Chain A
């Protein structure tokens, strides 16, 4: 089961910063890295895709949450 992110704001900020730095080090564009780090993206899956040669923007699109179907 995935851990639920319920950290206080300061800790969440530090965690997002750590996640952002990991993504940038892996080749993600800084703006995309900020967006992904602050969201609920599974960084491990993103980095695995990039490891296998997937361009970072495509990895982000593959793992993006599905859009809500229009009612």
Chain B
């Protein structure tokens, strides 16, 4: 592991915080009968103590580091400005963060897939987040709607173009007049200017969930406004929310 090494004793242990384990109690995650032997062994070792657990944590970190490096390598062409050492440093950080996340969520592992497959996804996710953050690190976050022209669709009939133009005009007015200043900034940054939500969350020192809530409220306001003006707005978000 790296300087950001995660000491086995400092990572969250398996068990409910509401009913902390007593001294000497072994708290283990659910191990349904359907679990494969390898996954059961991982859970057993990670919930254990001493050398067994330390060794399992080390093996898990190795696995996560391989996954993070794979993801970095897969996305390397999108971040050509990064040097080789940067990729490895980011992979290490992603593996460290993924390790903490996996150990903190062990009790949520339901055995729908192999343990290693489940854990692997944490590293892929963290690697993607690291790269997105890195890519936006030196950049000003655009909060003004400078990306409107990108919306114009191509290969449409004159009638369709007119309808789309009317819709875009109405949307532009609704964004300006119906949304609050901060709702507008969040919506514009994320949906028009392509700022990753985790990057914006980091800059604002908030959570992604809080930004999702603002986005949801903004979209709801816009949909209602456009529907009130007679535009046929497909209600895809309601399906998404279920």
For residue B209, which residue of chain A has the nearest CB? A1
A26-B182, A50-B182, A51-B183 as given contacts; A42 in contact with B141, CB under 8 Å: no
Q: How many residues of B contact A (CB 8 A)?
A: 21
Q: Is B156 an interface residue (CB 8 A)?
A: no
Q: Is A65 an interface residue (CB 8 A)?
A: no
Show 12 residue pairs from A and B whose CB-CB distance is below 8 angstroms, ordered by the A residue.
A3-B198, A18-B141, A19-B203, A26-B182, A41-B205, A42-B205, A42-B210, A44-B182, A47-B181, A47-B185, A48-B214, A52-B180
Chain A 18-57 interface mask (CB, 8 Å, partner B; 1/0): 1100100010000000000000111111011011100000
B82 CB, nearest partner CB in chain A, Å: 15
Please state if B140 and A18 are interface contacts (CB–CB under 8 Å): yes
Please state if A2 and B206 are interface contacts (CB–CB under 8 Å): yes
Binding site for B on A (CB under 8 A): 1-3, 5, 11, 14-15, 18-19, 22, 26, 40-45, 47-48, 50-52
A1 to B198, CA, bound (A): 11
Please state if B206 and A42 are interface contacts (CB–CB under 8 Å): yes
B114 CB, nearest partner CB in chain A, Å: 25
Contact partner of B181 among A5, A19, A42, A51, CB < 8 A?
Answer: A51
Give the interface SS of chain A, mostly helix, strand, loop or mixed.
helix
Please state if A18 and B214 are interface contacts (CB–CB under 8 Å): no
A2 to B203, CA, bound (A): 11
Q: Considering the complex, which residues of chain B in the window 146-174 have a beta carbon less than 8 Å from any beta carbon of chain A?
A: none
A19 CB, nearest partner CB in chain B, Å: 7
Q: Is B176 an interface residue (CB 8 A)?
A: no
A51 to B181, CA, bound (A): 7
Contact partner of B202 among A3, A26, A47, A51, CB < 8 A?
Answer: A3
A47 to B182, CA, bound (A): 6
A42 to B210, CA, bound (A): 10
